[in-house]
Amino acid sequence: MDEILQSFLSPSVLVYIAGVLAIPFLAPLITRARQRKIIRRRRAAGLDDRVLSNPGDGLARRRKESLTETAIVFAAVVILPVLIMMVIYSLPIGLEAKNSETEKLKIAFGAFLLWTLVSGTSVAKNFLGGLAFRCLSSCSNAIQVGDRVTVTDHHGVVKEIGIFFTKIQTLDDDQVSIPSAMLLDEILVSTNAGQRASMVNLPFYLHSVSDAKQSEEAEKIIWETIQSATLFDPAHPLKIFLAQTNDSLVLTAKCYVTSTYAEAEFRSEVTKQVLKAFGEKSIRLANPGTE
């Protein structure tokens, strides 16, 4: 056992292991350096540090970060041993010693790949899985930072897509950290898909005894209220649909709010004005608990 252990404690193997462990930590340093450079440019232009001039800049930046991290990991695992072997053969030592060091390095390389791909620790698997998710999400635009998403029964705004964790801030201001590797097997639902505006469904339930005149008047009120709302996005169509249940008439407005982060405020504003107008026109609402 001691002989086997000594064979792996050769200088070349130790350098390789140290490189594999250390080089991936360069990715966050490179990312932070790029972010500081962007911040300096924005400050020089008199712009806010936290606001992007173009919504697509966030996705483009994250795509570069993901590709950089992938290249660094590839370099640590594959290119580094090749460079070490080149250095070994350039050293003024005997051919037998060079071959011995190279053989040990090959064994260490194969063992590392086998351990990582087959029976690696949770940390290694989560690292590779998270890195794969970052690359796939940035290239396929599945989700990105700033999106309002629903993931594993959690709904909120994506604050960060990291290698190990994706952080989501819920409407209750809770921060949920989900392992990024796990998201490769999850269904991802994005409300705004990288866009600033997002669609909102606003259902209003009228009493079942409401006649055609009242439903038309209610539809007119909903239409005019949404059109005059400060957060309504007129660049997208506004549609109102009528449906009937056993206990109510349902008027559902489908429209867009200018900022997906202001959906709650938009809902509150429209609902408040619609209910006020319904009361003035004596339009009865369905009883609580009805569909």
Alpha-carbon distance of 120 to 172, in angstroms, equals 37
Q: What's the whole-model pTM score? A: 0.55
Question: How many angstroms separate the CA atoms of 249 and 286, rounded?
Answer: 8
What tokens appear for 166 in the block? 């994706």
Q: Where are the alpha helices (DSSP H) in 118-190?
A: 122-140
CATH for the stretch 198-280: 3.30.70.100
Task: Return d(Cα 245, Cα 252) in angstroms, integer.
Answer: 13
- 142-190 against 198-280: fold identical: no
Instruction: Indicate the domain borders of the chain.
Output: 2-120, 142-190, 198-280
Q: Ramachandran region of residue 194, left (φ > 0), alpha (ψ -120 to 50) or beta?
A: left
Strand intervals (E) in the chain: 148-151, 154-161, 165-170, 175-179, 189-190, 198-207, 239-244, 248-257
pLDDT on residue 218: 94
Residue 167, Cβ density class (10 Å: 0-12 exposed, 13-18 middle, ≥19 buried): middle
Q: Report d(CA 258, CA 195) in Å as an integer.
A: 10
Residue 257: predicted pLDDT: 92
Per DSSP, 198 falls in state: E
pLDDT at 250: 92
Could you give the angle at which helices 11-22 and 95-117 cross, rounded to 10 degrees? 40
| Structural fold of domain 142-190 | SH3 type barrels. (2.30.30)
Q: For every one of its 291 residues, what pLDDT tens digit does the chain have, with 9 covering 90 and above?
A: 455 455 556 777 777 777 766 766 666 677 777 778 877 887 787 766 555 444 445 555 666 666 666 666 666 667 777 777 788 777 787 777 778 777 777 777 776 666 665 555 566 667 767 777 877 776 777 777 778 888 888 888 888 888 788 899 887 888 899 888 888 888 888 887 777 888 899 999 999 888 889 999 999 999 999 999 999 999 999 999 999 888 889 999 999 998 888 888 999 999 999 999 999 999 989 875 544
